[in-house]
Amino acid sequence: MTDTATDPATDPAAGARTSAPPLPGARGPLSEAVLAHLRGPSGALAGACAPHLDAADPYGDDLQLALYACYELHYRGFEGVSDDLEWDPALIALRRRLEERFLAAVRGDVAGGDDVAGEVDALLVEDVDAVGVSAHLRRRGELWQLREHVALRSTYHLKEADPQAWVIPRLDGPAKAALVTVEHDEYGAGRPERMHARLFADMMLELGLSDRYGAHVDVAPAAVLAEVNLMSLFGLHRALRGALVGQFAAVELTSSPGSARMVRAAERLGCGPATVGFYAEHVEADAVHEQVVRRGVIAPLLAAEPHLAADVVLGIQAAGLLDARLTEHLLGAWSQGRSALRGPLPED
C-beta of 81 vs 133, nearer to Fe ion:
133
Beta carbon of residue 162, minimum distance to Fe ion (angstroms, whole number): 11
What letter does residue 46 receive in the DSSP assignment? H
User: Number of helices (H) and strands (E), helices first, in the chain?
Assistant: 16, 0
Short-list 55, 56, 84, 81, CA closest to 69: 81
C-beta of 64 vs 259, nearer to Fe ion:
259
- C-alpha span between 139 and 312 (Å, rounded): 33
Beta carbon of residue 234, minimum distance to Fe ion (angstroms, whole number): 17
∠ CA 139-144-150 to the nearest 5 degrees?
A: 85
- C-alpha span between 268 and 169 (Å, rounded): 43
Number of residues that bind Fe ion (CB under 5 A): 5
Beta carbon of residue 248, minimum distance to Fe ion (angstroms, whole number): 9
C-beta of 56 vs 316, nearer to Fe ion:
316
Among 88, 119, 162, 286, binds Fe ion (CB under 5 A): 286
In sequence order, what are the residues at sequence separation of 6 or more whose Cβ sits closer than 8 angstroms to the Cβ of residue 260? 279, 283
Among 37, 289, 294, 325, binds Fe ion (CB under 5 A): 289
Beta carbon of residue 80, minimum distance to Fe ion (angstroms, whole number): 31
C-beta of 23 vs 280, nearer to Fe ion:
280
3-state secondary structure of 241: helix
What does the per-residue mask of binding to Fe ion show for 104-143, with x meaning CB under 5 A? ----------------------------------------
Beta carbon of residue 296, minimum distance to Fe ion (angstroms, whole number): 13
Is residue 116 a contact partner of residue 312, using CB atoms and an 8 Å limit? yes
What does the per-residue mask of binding to Fe ion show for 242-281, with x meaning CB under 5 A? ----------x-----------------------------
C-beta of 159 vs 196, nearer to Fe ion:
196
Beta carbon of residue 132, minimum distance to Fe ion (angstroms, whole number): 18
C-beta of 248 vs 334, nearer to Fe ion:
248
In this chain, which stretch among 140-148, 205-213, 238-246, 287-295 interacts with Fe ion, using CB under 5 A? 287-295
C-beta of 78 vs 278, nearer to Fe ion:
278
Beta carbon of residue 282, minimum distance to Fe ion (angstroms, whole number): 6
Beta carbon of residue 199, minimum distance to Fe ion (angstroms, whole number): 8
In sequence order, what are the residues at sequence separation of 6 or more whose Cβ sits closer than 8 angstroms to the Cβ of residue 202? 211, 274, 277, 278
C-beta of 23 vs 230, nearer to Fe ion:
230
- C-alpha span between 296 and 288 (Å, rounded): 11
Short-list 121, 97, 84, CA closest to 33: 97
Short-list 241, 209, 214, 208, CA closest to 157: 214
Whose CB is nearest to Fe ion? 196
Stretch 56-95 residues interacting with Fe ion (CB under 5 A): none
What letter does residue 25 receive in the DSSP assignment? P
- C-alpha span between 220 and 152 (Å, rounded): 6
Beta carbon of residue 198, minimum distance to Fe ion (angstroms, whole number): 11
Stretch 166-225 residues interacting with Fe ion (CB under 5 A): 186, 196
Spacing of C-alpha 254 from chain mean position = 15
Short-list 25, 74, 117, 27, CA closest to 231: 74
In sequence order, what are the residues at sequence separation of 6 or more whose Cβ sits closer than 8 angstroms to the Cβ of residue 251? 319
C-beta of 38 vs 280, nearer to Fe ion:
280
* Under rule CB under 5 A, residue 227 binds Fe ion: no
C-beta of 84 vs 126, nearer to Fe ion:
126
Footprint on this chain of Fe ion (rule: CB under 5 A): 186, 196, 252, 286, 289
